[in-house]
Every structure is written in structure tokens, then in C-alpha cells.
Amino acid sequence: MGSLTIHSPTSSRRQFLKTTAAGATLATAAITGLYRPASAQKKAIPLLFPTLPYPENALEPYLSAKTLHIHHDRHHRKYMEETIARVKGTDYENATLEKIIKETYGGITMIETLHLMAVLAWNHDFYWKSMKPKGGGELPPKLKTMILEAFGSVDAFKKEFKEAAMTFGSGWAWLVLDKGKAAVTYTKYHESPLLLNQTPLLTTDTWEHAYYLDYQDRKGDYADAFLNNLANWSFAEKNLSAAAPAAPSTTAPAPVKKSEKKK
Ligand SMILES: [Fe+2]
């Protein structure tokens, strides 16, 4: 079984960071690096609210146009606009979401709000790309090989991914590359595998707003539809190929994180 990582609430992380030297260093760096005088500020804001990679009705009957409209145009838009508003006039004004996510991790309250908005904006963009019309089906060769090596069979992988997607509460089920191996990870709320030195390959949003209009309490049916009819395996294959030269285990150490438990 691949790793299934559950993270504790953000408030615990904040408390943890407050009580450790590492946390103090991180918070201090974040404070000193964040604001600059107006004269030094850059003019352009490169962060933009991304359009959907397909029409709102393209994933029907598995996800309705109404679900995609509310999810993308209200939820995702809010996370992106909140992120853009918070980086305006700061060193992060021209930064990527990935940089913001990694550097604001575990900061003081104001930075933490930016962090969670940036994670949610990034996760949603990745989620839209993780699906496509007429998705599912056969896995591309490289991805299939990784899946078979890690899980033994595609069905075993799907079973574990579905289990992660059905975790109670709001979160994200991920197929990731972890230390050179395919794994299933679950992150709660606004947490990101980017902070665990894992390379995301594919994700599904398991917050209620992602599926409730179409599936109500049938979260398992939503997970099945994602895996069998929506998953963009080509996107996962592309992410896998891009990550292949540099295994996650060889990258910089992960930022300080709070306690976690294996499931
Ligand atoms: Fe969402």
C-alpha cells in the first residue's frame, strides 16, 4: 500500500511553530521577506484566475455544468482573487503559486491566510487539469508501469485512491511520486503534497462543493466516476515524465511540518 498521509489541523501547526526555533526562524524570514517599500514594488501581477481547460458542461453526465460553474467560477475564483489581493505590494507580487506556497508555510496568521488561499488556488487548477471529457480508460505505459510497481495492479491502486477520496471531511486525494515511487496521499483542507517533497501527478477534490449537487452523500460514486470516466491519465503521465529526471527525495528538505500519522 502506498503512503496515505493525514495532516493535523493548521492551528496545531501554528502552535507547533510558535514553540520551536525552526518555527521562529521561518516566521521571521517570512516577515522580513514579505514587505518592501512602494518604490521597490514591481508593477505587474502575473497571477491570474485560470479558465477551465474545457467547457463547463464538458464533464457531463459525471459532473454537471452547474457544479463546475459554482466550483470554478465562485470557489476557485475566490481563492485566486484572495491570493492576488494578498500579494499585492509584496515580494510575492510576481511569484509563482508554488513559491508562495512553500515560503509562507507555517507563518504568522496573515501569511498563513495567504498560504491557504495559494494552496487552494493551486490545488483547484491542478484538479481541473486532472480531469478531461471522456477521461478514465487505459493508463499510458510509463504511468502504468509505476502503478504496477507500487500497487501490484491498477485495480489495487484505484481501490486505495478511492479509499483516500472517501476519507471523511474536506480534502484532496492524490496520486503522487514519493521518493521515486507512485503513492496515494490524502491531504486535509488546504494542505499540499508540495510541502512533503512529493510530486503531484493527479488529484481529486473531495470537499462537498466538488460533488454534492451531483452525488449528494454518494462520495464513493463520485470517486468511481473520477477514476473511470474523468481522470486525465495523460496529464499524470506528463507530470511523471517531467519529474523523472529529479526524484523528489533529492530535492531540498521539506519545510517544517506538524505531526502526521499514517493510515
Ligand atoms: Fe474545491
| Separation of alpha carbons 24 and 30, rounded Å | 10
Give residue 127 CA to ligand 1 midpoint distance, Å: 8
Ligand 1 centroid distance, CA of 189 (Å): 10
- For the stretch 162-203, pLDDT in tens is 999 999 999 999 999 999 999 999 999 988 999 999 999 999
How many angstroms separate the alpha carbon of residue 166 from the centre of ligand 1? 15
Helix (H) or strand (E) holding 162: helix 154-165
Does residue 111 lie within any of the structural domains? yes
What is the C-alpha separation between 147 and 154, in angstroms, rounded? Answer: 6
Q: What is the mean pLDDT of the chain?
A: 81
Ligand 1 centre distance from Cα of residue 152 (Å): 31
- Domain membership of residue 150 (yes or no) is yes
For the chain, percent of residues with pLDDT exceeding 90: 68
Within a domain: residue 164? yes
Distance 20 CA to ligand 1 centre (A): 32
Domain for residue 193, yes or no? yes
Between the CA of 48 and the centroid of ligand 1 the distance, in Å, is 17
Answer yes or no: is 59 within a domain.
Answer: no
pLDDT per residue as tens digits for the range 116-157? 999 999 999 999 999 999 999 999 999 999 999 999 999 999
* Domain total of the chain: 1
pLDDT of 43 > 80? The answer is no
Asked whether residue 35 carries a pLDDT value surpassing 90, the answer given is: no
Each residue of 73-90: pLDDT tens digit?
A: 999 999 999 999 999 989
Burial 65-103 (b: 16+ CB within 10 A, else e): eebbebbbeebbeebbebbbebbebbbbbebebeebbbb
pTM: 0.77
State pLDDT tens for residues 204-231. Answer: 999 999 999 999 999 999 999 999 999 9
**Range with lowest mean pLDDT among 14-18, 39-43, 145-149, 231-235:** 14-18
Distance 36 CA to ligand 1 centre (A): 33
Report whether pLDDT(28) > 70: no
**133 C-alpha to center of ligand 1: Å?**
19
What spacing in Å lies between the alpha carbon of 209 and ligand 1's midpoint? 6
Does pLDDT of 3 surpass 50? no
Q: Which of 201, 203, 161 is nearest to 181 (CA)?
A: 201
Which of 120, 114, 204 lies closest to 162 in space, CA to CA?
Answer: 204
> What confidence score (pLDDT) does residue 49 get?
96
The CATH number of residue 113's host domain is: 3.55.40.20
Q: Give residue 245's pLDDT band: very low, low, confident or very high (50, 70, 90).
A: low
Q: How far is the CA of 148 from the centre of ligand 1 (A)?
A: 29
Which of 38-47, 183-192, 247-256 is predicted most confidently?
183-192
Ligand 1 centroid–CA 208 distance in Å is 8
How far is Cα 97 from Cα 251, in angstroms, rounded to an integer?
18
Alpha carbon of 217 to ligand 1 centroid (Å): 16
Within-domain flag for 51: no
Half-sphere exposure in the Cβ direction for 49 (13 Å, CA): 15
Q: How far is the CA of 147 from the centre of ligand 1 (A)?
A: 26
- Split at pLDDT 50, 70, 90, the class of 250 is very low
Any domain includes 35: yes
Q: Would you say residue 140 lies in a domain?
A: yes
Provide, rounded to the nearest whole percent, the portion of the chain with pLDDT above 70. 76
Q: What is the extent of the structural domain holding 234?
A: 5-39+64-262
The DSSP 8-state label assigned to residue 173 in this structure reads: E
- Measure 56 CA to ligand 1 centroid, in angstroms: 15
pLDDT at residue 263 greater than cutoff 90: no
